Amino acid sequence: MDAFRRATAELVGAFALTFIGAGAIMTGADLVGIALAHGLVIAVMVSAVGHISGGHFNPAVTFGFLITRRITVFLAVVYWVAQLLGALIGALLLLWIYPDRITDATNLGAPALAEEISVGAGFAVELILTFLLVWVIFATAADPRGSFVAIAGLAIGLTITLDILMGGPLTGAAMNPSRAFGPQLVANAWADGWLWYVAPLLGGGLAALAYEHVYLRGAEVPPAGTVESEIAEPAVGEEAL
């Protein structure tokens, strides 16, 4: 039941990110509007359900928590399924809502490389942007010594906004395999598709390991009731689920 509660929160958050973020692209919002749509929806959803699931909504974030042993393998898989399913539902609803001329022109908001950007450069951009995102998540929501747990959602949402302002015109700045997956699958838009899976997972993993080893080794256990305590406790063993 606890895993179901967490999975539901992750599904709703991932759904909201794709529905609102990709929807802003399809509506014709400018770069600032698209960045704010993605950033604000994450800020709101992390604030709303972060106490339930930790507010990952992103397989790269979950991967970072997995390799630092802050979440069990079982729960990580549950999160990944929920995140991908939520994004898929969001993309399917957008396909139903918008006319063909918009869905065809935007590929349902699927990320894409700008013509002047090489695959290598695009890979580096997605890796770096995801590194910064996961670094901020660990610093604000995972570090028990931080004073920002209560406003972690705002910090995380602003990081996504800043990342999209820089990387949106270059790679789409997905920073999130599930955000890429839903639109890619429904629109069948897979050009360089691997990039939005490998780069975020690598960037998120590097950020998690770096923050863990530099700042969190030997840190105090987070007090009960904080966002990170909700994630850390089950990591002790599968029986906690």
User: What pLDDT digit, counting tens, does each position of 38-84 carry?
Assistant: 999 999 999 999 999 999 999 999 999 999 999 999 999 999 999 99
Q: Is the pLDDT of residue 203 over 80?
A: yes
Question: What is the DSSP track for 50-111?
Answer: HHHH----SHHHHHHHHHTTSS-HHHHHHHHHHHHHHHHHHHHHHHHHS-HHHHHHHGGG--
Q: Of 25-39, 161-175, 183-197, 223-237, which range is least confident?
A: 223-237
- pLDDT tens-digit readout, 84-130: 999 999 999 999 999 999 999 999 999 999 999 999 999 999 999 99
pTM reported for the whole predicted model: 0.90
Identify the band that residue 7 occupies on the pLDDT scale cut at 50, 70 and 90.
Answer: very high
Q: Is the pLDDT of residue 187 over 90?
A: yes
Q: Give me the sign of the Cα torsion angle 50, 54, 58, 61.
A: positive
Among 68, 54, 222, 218, CA closest to 145: 222
Annotate 207-236 with b (16+ C-beta within 10 A) or e (fewer): bbeebbeeebeeeeebeeebbbbbbbebbe
Please report the domains of the chain, with CATH numbers, ordered by start residue: 2-240 (1.20.1080.10)
Q: Is the pLDDT of residue 229 over 80?
A: no
The mean of the pLDDT values for the chain is 90
Side-chain half-sphere CA neighbours of 14 within 13 A: 36
pLDDT of 217:
85
pLDDT of 233:
39
- pLDDT tens-digit readout, 17-45: 999 999 999 999 999 999 999 999 999 99
Annotate 83-119 with b (16+ C-beta within 10 A) or e (fewer): bbbbbbbbbbbbbeebeeeebeebbbbbbbbeeebee
What residue has token string 């929807």?
23
* H or E element that contains 2: helix 2-27
Q: In the numeric block, which tokens belong to residue 186?
A: 């429904």
Identify the band that residue 152 occupies on the pLDDT scale cut at 50, 70 and 90.
Answer: confident
Q: Is the pLDDT of residue 224 over 80?
A: no
Please count the other Cβ atoms lying within 10 Å of the Cβ belonging to residue 27. 14
Q: Is the pLDDT of residue 218 over 80?
A: no
Structural contact between residues 129 and 38, judged by C-beta atoms closer than 8 angstroms: no
